């Protein structure tokens, strides 16, 4: 089990996940509407957003001639984003002083992802699993 994670049975007993203790809320299809309502309230005062995405790695490499390494890196990113399914998008909300919203300030939007049907790079999946992504829930 990844460090900082409690088994689901203990989470239910405690009533709050480790993530929520640190102001992070997991958003799934079943709580999307409620969390969008909460998010709309937060953005009234906390208008600055930090964003993070989780993708299943690099599975394709562009071919051709590139003027610079930055061109190659851009095309590498673009072609993988175009063909792979996103796993998660995280949004954290801050005010103009860089302070997080009280309570839940980060929303992790989880997308459908299938380990049997979707493409992925195994090293990326291993890293994400070790970081706490629960692919069985996707």
Assign residue 76 the CATH number of its domain. Answer: 3.30.420.10
- Domain membership flag for residue 12: no
Q: Is the pTM of this model over 0.95?
A: no
CA separation for the pair 82, 58 (Å, rounded) = 11
CA separation for the pair 20, 30 (Å, rounded) = 17
- Domain membership flag for residue 121: no
Report pLDDT digits (tens) over 76-114: 999 999 999 999 999 999 999 999 999 999 999 999 999
Inform me whether the pLDDT recorded for 31 exceeds 50. yes
**Domain containing 36: what range?**
19-114
Task: List the one residue out of 54, 21, 136, 32 whose CA is nearest residue 6.
Answer: 21
If one counts the domains in the chain, the total is 1
- Domain membership flag for residue 9: no
- Domain membership flag for residue 67: yes
Inform me whether the pLDDT recorded for 12 exceeds 90. no
- Domain membership flag for residue 36: yes
- Domain membership flag for residue 119: no
Is residue 17 within 8 Å of residue 11, measured between CB atoms?
yes
- Domain membership flag for residue 75: yes
Residue 91 neighbours by CB under 8 Å, 6+ apart: 39, 49, 50, 51, 106, 107, 109
Q: Which two tokens stand for residue 133?
A: 């992504």
Is residue 38 within 8 Å of residue 104, measured between CB atoms?
yes
- Domain membership flag for residue 10: no
């Amino acid at each position: 089990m990844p460090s900082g994670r409690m088994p689901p049975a203990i989470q239910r007993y405690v009533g709050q996940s480790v993530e929520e203790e640190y102001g992070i809320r997991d958003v799934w299809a079943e709580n999307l509407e409620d969390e969008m309502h909460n998010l709309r309230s937060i953005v009234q005062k906390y208008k600055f957003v930090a964003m993070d995405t989780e993708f299943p790695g690099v599975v394709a490499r562009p071919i051709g001639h590139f003027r610079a390494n930055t061109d190659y890196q851009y095309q590498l990113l673009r072609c993988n984003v175009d063909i792979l399914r996103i796993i998660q998008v995280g949004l954290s909300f801050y005010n103009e002083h860089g302070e997080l919203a009280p309570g839940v300030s980060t929303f992790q939007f989880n997308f459908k992802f299938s380990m049997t049907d979707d493409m992925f790079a195994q090293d990326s999946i291993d890293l994400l699993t070790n970081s706490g992504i629960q692919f069985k829930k996707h």
